[in-house]
């Protein structure tokens, strides 16, 4: 596998319109392995400022995460908390500013809060992603409140896999499916990006299996509020 030269440039190349459809157009490419320690040399703020176009052009985004809240659903302070951890893990220089990176990333959340009529979202998260505290208890409380709000939006489907459920598919690494044309899946050291139909079909199957284990609507909101109550009881 080959490594890309930069997240921003890659995403700008990958985002475009299919004639008459407005979906993401992706040229044929080999699966690409991106190493975060090299990618982050461009700076967190630059990288985060480059990704919005891909989200804007994607008609249906499907995302699963077992560890954190999916990116486009993250609040500003939650993002700051994550990027502080990223700076620590990758040994970024002192001038690396998680606040600036969060400011560059959060604007894409308007696609959630200000529906365009053409973008739809389907999210599945493990309950554990709701109970691990990122930033601070106050930050996490705000984040969970936003998730409760997101479950009420007509263009958003948000499922939560309950704790203790009998699994038909075990938890795994997070991944994003942009229409049926691009998959991005991350681990701590890097990310794979692919537009290969057989690999995309594999992730779609995984997503469908995980989605079937989740609960939605009122049961999902009850789980989110349960995590919120658990958080407040810790304080």
What pLDDT, on a 0 to 100 scale, did the predictor assign at position 235? 65
Q: What is the pTM of this model?
A: 0.83
What pLDDT, on a 0 to 100 scale, did the predictor assign at position 95? 53
What pLDDT, on a 0 to 100 scale, did the predictor assign at position 91? 83
Please state which of the four CATH numbers 3.30.870, 3.40.50, 1.10.1200, 1.10.3470 is assigned to the domain occupying 7-14+25-108+119-234. 3.30.870
What pLDDT, on a 0 to 100 scale, did the predictor assign at position 211? 98
Let me know if 222 is exposed, middle or buried by CB neighbors in 10 A (0-12, 13-18, 19+).
Answer: middle
Give per-residue pLDDT as tens, 25-38.
Answer: 444 445 587 776 66
Give per-residue pLDDT as tens, 136-191.
Answer: 999 999 999 999 999 999 999 999 999 999 999 999 999 999 999 999 998 888 88
Structure tokens at 47: 């990288």
Give the separation between CA 174 and CA 184, rounded to whole angstroms: 9
Give the separation between CA 75 and CA 113, rounded to whole angstroms: 12
**Predicted confidence band at 2 (pLDDT cuts at 50, 70, 90)?**
very low
Give per-residue pLDDT as tens, 221-232.
Answer: 999 999 999 998
Let me know if 206 is exposed, middle or buried by CB neighbors in 10 A (0-12, 13-18, 19+).
Answer: middle
Kindly tell me the sign of the dihedral angle through the C-alpha atoms of 181, 48, 38, 186: negative
What pLDDT, on a 0 to 100 scale, did the predictor assign at position 45? 63
Where are the chain's structural domains? 7-14+25-108+119-234
**Predicted confidence band at 48 (pLDDT cuts at 50, 70, 90)?**
low
Beta-ladder partners of 140? none
What pLDDT, on a 0 to 100 scale, did the predictor assign at position 38? 66
What pLDDT, on a 0 to 100 scale, did the predictor assign at position 46? 60
**What is the percentage of the chain residues whose pLDDT exceeds 70?**
78
**Predicted confidence band at 50 (pLDDT cuts at 50, 70, 90)?**
low
Q: Give the contacts of 229 (CB within 8 A, at least 6 positions apart).
A: none
- At residue 88, does pLDDT exceed 90? no
Average pLDDT, the chain: 83
- At residue 133, does pLDDT exceed 80? yes
């Amino acid at each position: 596998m080959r490594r890309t030269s930069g997240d921003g440039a890659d995403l700008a190349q990958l985002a475009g319109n299919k004639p008459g459809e407005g979906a993401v157009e992706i040229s044929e490419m080999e699966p690409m392995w991106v190493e975060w320690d090299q990618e982050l040399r461009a700076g967190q703020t630059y990288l985060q400022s480059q990704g919005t176009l891909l989200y804007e052009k994607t008609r249906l985004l499907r995302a699963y995460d077992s560890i954190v809240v999916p990116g486009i659903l993250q609040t500003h302070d939650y993002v700051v908390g994550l990027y502080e951890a990223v700076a620590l893990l990758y040994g970024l220089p002192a001038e690396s500013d998680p606040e600036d990176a969060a400011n560059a990333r959060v604007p894409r959340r308007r696609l959630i809060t200000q529906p365009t009529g053409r973008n739809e979202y389907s999210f599945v998260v493990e309950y554990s992603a709701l109970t691990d505290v990122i930033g601070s208890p106050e930050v996490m409380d705000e984040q969970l409140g936003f998730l409760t709000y997101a479950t009420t939006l007509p263009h958003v489907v948000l499922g939560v896999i309950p704790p203790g459920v009998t699994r038909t598919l075990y938890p795994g690494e997070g991944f994003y499916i942009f229409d049926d044309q691009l998959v991005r899946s991350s681990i701590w050291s890097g990310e794979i990006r692919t537009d290969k139909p057989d690999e995309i079909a594999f992730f779609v199957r995984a997503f469908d299996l995980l989605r079937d284990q989740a609960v939605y609507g009122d049961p999902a909101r009850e789980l989110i509020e349960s995590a919120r109550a658990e958080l407040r009881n810790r304080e």
